[in-house]
Structure 1
Amino acid sequence: MLTGKQKRFLRALGTKIDPIFQVGKTGINDNMVNLIDDALEARELVKVRVLQNCLLETKDVARELAIRTNSALVQVVGRNLLLYRRSIKKEKIELP
């Protein structure tokens, strides 16, 4: 569980990164979850964009991805969401 200070720190880092995944009409599938899981292991902080043609609500997508990737949901702004999970192999982000 992240503290408020840690979430603020991660949100500040998240403003500088671009979304690397997009959730579209097909929604969330196992392949996408595996790719996001790998990206979280490599980067620790991942931004995902939910496209307008997605049939699911953005908050529902955010909750499901956080649960299925075992990550923390840092922020949902509009159609963008930010996920964080500490890497097992090497930590890149030093939380306050």
Structure 2
Amino acid sequence: MSLNPEQKKHYRTLGHKLNPVVTVAGKGLTEAVQLEVDRALEDHELIKVKFAVGDREIKKEIIRELCSIVEAELVQEIGHIALIYRKALEPNAKLSNLLR
């Protein structure tokens, strides 16, 4: 699943108003964090995740690893916030950030 530039631009526009729903802190990618990101992606399809880790390279590696684990696509990374997308199997119009 690869997003084309037009899709990324559209998702960045939608993601601008979103707040982070999950924070990855000092303990890294715990199982609980992975499950919460997976649940949030299934509900909302497009989410922001905040990374409270110090080193830039470690943060980039954690973002890549998280996207790989939850099978999501990185749309944008600015500072400590990553915008990630994964199409839901059964989108809910009331919860999805793409359908509202």
What TM-score comes out, normalization by structure 2 length? 0.85
Task: Give the equivalent residue in structure 2 for 1:42.
Answer: 43
Q: CA deviation at 1:58?
A: 2.0
What 5-or-longer segments of structure 1 have no aligned partner?
A: none
One-letter amino acid of the structure 2 residue matched with residue 85 of structure 1: R
Regions of 4+ moved over 3 Å? 52-56
Deviations 1:33-72 (A, max 9, x none): 1110010000001101111457972211210110000000
Task: Give the equivalent residue in structure 2 for 1:81.
Answer: 82
What 5-or-longer segments of structure 2 have no aligned partner?
A: none
What TM-score comes out, normalization by structure 1 length? 0.88
Change (3 A) 1:39 1:33: same
Output the CA distance in 2 between the equivalents of 1:32 and 1:56.
20
3-state DSSP of counterpart to 2:75: strand
Aligned residues: 94
Output the CA distance in 1 between the equivalents of 2:51 and 2:60.
10
Q: Percent identity of the aligned residues?
A: 31
Asked whether 1:11 is paired with 2:12, we answer yes
One-letter amino acid of the structure 2 residue matched with residue 58 of structure 1: K
